Amino acid sequence: MNRAILSTILIGLSTLPIRAEISHGENDLVLGDFEGESYDPWTATGDAFGTGPARGSLASQMPVTGFHGARLANSFHGGDDSTGTLTSPPFAIERNHIAFLIGGGKRPGKLELQLVIDGQVVLGSTGTQDKPGGTEALEPGFWDVRRFKGKTATLRIIDEAKGGWGHINVDHIVQMDAKPPGLWNELSVNVSGEAPYLLIPIRNGAPKRTFTLRVDGKVVARNDIELAEADDADWYAPMDLGPWKGKDIYLRVDRLSPDPAALDRIVRSREPRPDPKPYSEPLRAQYHFSSARGWLNDPNGCVFYNGEYHLFYQHNPYGITWGNMHWGHAVSPDLVHWKELGDALFPDDTGMMYSGSAVVDWKNTSGFGKDGKPPLILFYTAAGDEYTQCLAWSTDGRTFTKYAENPVVKQVTHGNRDPKVIWHEPTKQWVMAVYVELNKVHTIHFHTSPDLKHWTFASKTDGFFECPDLFELPVDGDPAKKKWVLTAASSEYQVGSFDGKAFKPETPMLPGHRGKGFYAAQSFSDVPDGRRVFIGWWQTETKGMPFNQSMSLPLELNLVTTPDGPRLTFTPVKELEKLRVKTLDFGNSDYPFKLPRGAAMSLTIADADLYEMRVEFEPGDAEQFEIELRGHAIAYDMKTQQLIVNGHAAAAPLIGGRQRMTLYCDRNGLEVFASDGQCYIPMPGNADPKKRSFSLSSKTGTPLIHAFELHELRSALQR
C-alpha cells in the first residue's frame, strides 16, 4: 500500500477558550464590529438579521454571551425559520489572519461566516450547536489567510437554515498579524493527486469532526467523522477521490487538536483499505451482503440494469453507527456474489442522501438516455432543512449525475421521504409512492409523471410507515389473476387494486416477516424473468468490527390462495443453491422414515459454519419436532402449529397435513422459512464458533420424515 503522507497545510482556523477576548494591536484592521444602529456599510438581505445589530439576545432566544462591545450580528430576528445574508464591502487582505467571534447553529453551508474571493467561498466557519439545549456563547476563532494576501475579498454571513439552531451569531471581525494560541478550528488540505484514495483513521467514539470535500470550488460531500487525532485508530475508512481525478480538490476539517499533524495521519493510497485480506473478519457474514467498512441500513435503488443486479443502500462509510448517509453501491450477476463499488451519492448542501429507489427508463421519457442507452434513474430524499425528493441518472451504472433542477417533488411535511418509483403500464405513466406524516397520521402519497421530472399528486392511503413498495403479482402463478401489494418498512402489507392513481385495499393490514431485525425491505425492478425479488436490512450487530449490519437473503415473493384470502410467501431465491459444496446425511435413510421417539439423530459439522437445511415432515403422534443447528434452537409445536426459533414463536400452519421448512445459517444469524413460505422468520445473532453440532429430535411421538437435506455452503465473498 502506498502510504505517502499528506503534506502542506494550506489554510488554518483556530479557536480560543469561549470567553477569551480577541486582543489586537494598533496596526490591526477592523472589518466589522456591528456597534452602530445599522449595519452600514454592510448590506443585509432577507429578514434574519433585522434592520441593525442586536443588543445581545432577541425575543425567545437564550442568553447570548461572549460578544464584543454592546452589539453583534444575530440572525435570530423572527426566530429560527427566518433567513437572510449580511455582506461586507470589498476589502484588501493585508494581514496574516482574520479573527472573529462566532456562535449559533452548526450547519456547514447553511449557517456560515464566509470569505469570498473572485466569487468563490474559500473559507467558511459555522457555530458549534447541533443538538437541543446548548449555549448561545460566541467563541473566538481565526483564519490563516496568508496565501490570499493582496487579493480583494468580501465577507458574507449566511443564514439559509430553518428549524432548531437555525441561526448564527457573529461579531468583531478583525484583520491581524498575530496568531492566537488554542485549538485549530479548521484546516484545509489540497488532496489533488494520482492516488485515488484517502485512508482516514477512525477511532470509534471520538469527537466528530466535519470533513468538507470541495472540488473546483463546489462542495460535493460533507461528513461528520470520528477522527483518530492521535496514533490510536480502530480502523481506516477510505475516501474515494477517483471521480474527481485531475480536478482541484480540497479537504476541509474543523476543530482539530492543537497539533495540526492530526491530518498527517490521513494517508494517500492506491488501495481502498489498509488490510491485506478484506472481508476476513471473524464476524463477517459469508453470503449475506455487508459493506467492507462502516454502517449499513436500508436497501435502496434495487434494480437490474446492464446485465447486473444493482443494490444501493444507506451507508455511513466513516463510522459504525448511523450517520453521514450516502448511497453505497454493489453489483452482482446472480444475487449471490456481490462486488462492492464506490458510493454513488454523497451528502451535500441539500442534506444527507436518504432512502429511495431506481428504475430503468426504457423509453427514455426523461431524456437522460443517449446513444440508444436507456438511463438508470435513482430517486432519493435529500434530507436537509427541508426533505425533498430528487433524482440522479446514469447511462453506465457506475457514475451518477444529480439532476440540476432538483428537487422534483418539494417538501409536503418535514420528514417526508423514501420515494419508490414504478412504471404503470396500463396508464403509460410513472408512479411515485412517498411516505408522508400528515396531521400525525402515517400516509403514503402517490404522484404520477410522464417523464420522471414533473410530478402531480394523485392520492394517498393511510397506515403505512416509511419505505413504501408497490408491485403487482399473479395469484397462484396465474397471470390472469393479478393483485397489487402495498407494503412498507415493517413488511406489513395489504393486497388490493391500483389504477395508476389510487390504491384500494381488499385485505386488512397483514404481517410480513414473523421474526426479528428485518426492516425497510425493497423489491428489485426490471428483473429479467419477471420474479419479484425482495431484500431487507438485516439488523445484525457486529461489535468490535470495522463494519456493522448486513442485508437479508434475497427473497422471492409470491401470492398464494389461502382460506383467509391471498397471502404473500417469502422463499430464498434459487440462485443460492449454487453455494452448495457437499450434502451431509444420516447414512442410508429411506424416505419416508419415522424419527425415533426420544432420540436425537445428529451429525458433527466441525469443518464449516455455513449451512442450508431442508426438511419435510408430518406430525404423526409427536407433540414437538426439534432442530439444533450451530447453537440455534428451532422447534415446531404440532398442537399449536407454531414455529419457535431461539424462543421466538410465530404461526406456521401445516399445508396439506405437512410442514416444509428451509433454514439458512450464516455467521450473523439464521433465516427460517416454513409453511411453503407463508412463515418467514429472520433471526439475527452471531454464531458461536465453538458450536458446530446439528441434530433432529422428537421428545414425544414419532414424526414421519418425508425429505431431509443438509448442505454445507461455500462463502460468496470476493476475497
Neighbours of 323 (CB within 10 A): 17
**pLDDT grade for 257, boundaries at 50, 70 and 90:** low
The verdict on 534 and 607 lying in the same domain is no
| Model pLDDT, residue 140 | 85
Most confident of 20-29, 249-258, 393-402: 393-402
Any catalytic annotation for residue 298? yes
| Model pLDDT, residue 16 | 23
Q: pLDDT tens for residues 563-597?
A: 999 999 999 999 999 999 988 776 656 888 888 87
Residue that has been written with the C-alpha cell 408512479 in this structure? 431
**pLDDT grade for 7, boundaries at 50, 70 and 90:** very low
134: exposed, middle or buried (Cβ count in 10 Å: 0-12, 13-18, 19+): middle
3-state SS class at 228: coil
The verdict on 477 and 623 lying in the same domain is no
Q: pLDDT tens for residues 298-352?
A: 999 999 999 999 999 999 999 999 999 999 999 999 999 999 999 999 998 899 9
The verdict on 319 and 388 lying in the same domain is yes
Cell of 482: 393479478
CA-based nearest residue to 488, from 506, 471, 502, 504: 471
Of 571, 587, 613, at which residue does a domain stop? Answer: 571
Please give the DSSP secondary-structure letter assigned to residue 405: T
Q: Which domain holds residue 622?
A: 575-713
The verdict on 154 and 207 lying in the same domain is no
3-state SS class at 677: helix
The verdict on 64 and 143 lying in the same domain is yes
In a domain, 527, yes or no: yes
In a domain, 288, yes or no: no
For residue 301, the domain's CATH number is 2.115.10.20
Q: pLDDT tens for residues 160-169?
A: 999 899 999 9
251 CB-near residues (< 8 Å, 6+ apart)? 188, 189, 191, 198, 211, 212, 213, 214, 239, 266
| Least confident stretch, 125-134, 257-266, 388-397, 581-590 | 257-266
| Model pLDDT, residue 42 | 98
Cell of 518: 428485518
- Mean pLDDT of all residues in 627-652: 95
**pLDDT grade for 374, boundaries at 50, 70 and 90:** very high
Q: How far apart are CA 627 and CA 438, in angstroms?
A: 47
In a domain, 278, yes or no: no
For residue 42, the domain's CATH number is 2.60.120.200
| CA gyration radius, the chain | 29
674 CB-near residues (< 8 Å, 6+ apart)? 636, 643, 652, 659, 660, 661, 662, 680, 681
In a domain, 211, yes or no: yes
List 298, 385, 469, 609, catalytic entry = 298
Beta pairing partners, 252 = 188, 212
Is a pLDDT exceeding 70 seen at residue 154?
yes
**What's the pTM?**
0.87
- Mean pLDDT of all residues in 54-66: 96
In a domain, 119, yes or no: yes
Residue that has been written with the C-alpha cell 419415522 in this structure? 594
- Look at the chain and report how many structural domains it folds into: 4
- Mean pLDDT of all residues in 613-641: 92
The verdict on 192 and 160 lying in the same domain is no
| Model pLDDT, residue 189 | 76
- Mean pLDDT of all residues in 621-636: 92
672 CB-near residues (< 8 Å, 6+ apart)? 515, 634, 643, 645, 661, 662, 663, 679, 680, 681, 682, 683
Q: Which is it for the CA torsion 139, 140, 145, 149, positive or negative?
A: positive
In a domain, 283, yes or no: no
Of 571, 590, 625, at which residue does a domain stop? Answer: 571
Phi/psi of residue 701, nearest 5 degrees: 80, 180
Q: How far is CA 549 from CA 284, 327, 543, 571, in A?
A: 10, 15, 10, 22
In the chain, the percentage of residues whose pLDDT exceeds 70 is 92
| Model pLDDT, residue 181 | 54
In terms of pLDDT, which residue wins out, 374 or 265?
Answer: 374
| Model pLDDT, residue 10 | 26
Q: How far apart are CA 256 and CA 184, in angstroms?
A: 5
In the chain, the percentage of residues whose pLDDT exceeds 90 is 73
- Mean pLDDT of all residues in 148-152: 96
Please give the mean pLDDT across all residues of the chain. 90
| Model pLDDT, residue 587 | 62
| Model pLDDT, residue 690 | 85
**pLDDT grade for 13, boundaries at 50, 70 and 90:** very low
> Does residue 319 contact residue 699 with C-beta atoms inside 8 Å?
no
The verdict on 369 and 401 lying in the same domain is yes
Tell me whether strands 294-305 and 547-548 are parallel, antiparallel or unpaired: parallel
> Does residue 112 contact residue 158 with C-beta atoms inside 8 Å?
yes
3-state SS class at 664: strand
The verdict on 70 and 199 lying in the same domain is no
The verdict on 72 and 92 lying in the same domain is yes
**pLDDT grade for 11, boundaries at 50, 70 and 90:** very low
Of 571, 591, 626, at which residue does a domain stop? Answer: 571
| Model pLDDT, residue 276 | 63
| Least confident stretch, 183-187, 219-223, 363-367, 664-668 | 183-187
Q: How far apart are CA 352 and CA 345, in angstroms?
A: 9
Quickly list H helices, 208-286: none
Residue 63: asked if its preceding bond is cis (omega within 30°), the reply is no
3-state SS class at 444: strand
Please give the DSSP secondary-structure letter assigned to residue 375: P
| Least confident stretch, 83-87, 443-447, 622-626, 638-642 | 622-626
Cell of 17: 477558550
The verdict on 59 and 151 lying in the same domain is yes
In a domain, 4, yes or no: no
Q: How far apart are CA 314 and CA 226, in angstroms?
A: 18
Phi/psi of residue 75, nearest 5 degrees: -95, 20
For residue 589, the domain's CATH number is 2.60.120.560
In a domain, 280, yes or no: no
Neighbours of 133 (CB within 10 A): 8
Q: pLDDT tens for residues 278-301?
A: 788 999 999 999 999 999 999 999
Residue that has been written with the C-alpha cell 480583494 in this structure? 152
The verdict on 589 and 686 lying in the same domain is yes
3-state SS class at 676: helix
| Model pLDDT, residue 524 | 98
The verdict on 34 and 103 lying in the same domain is yes
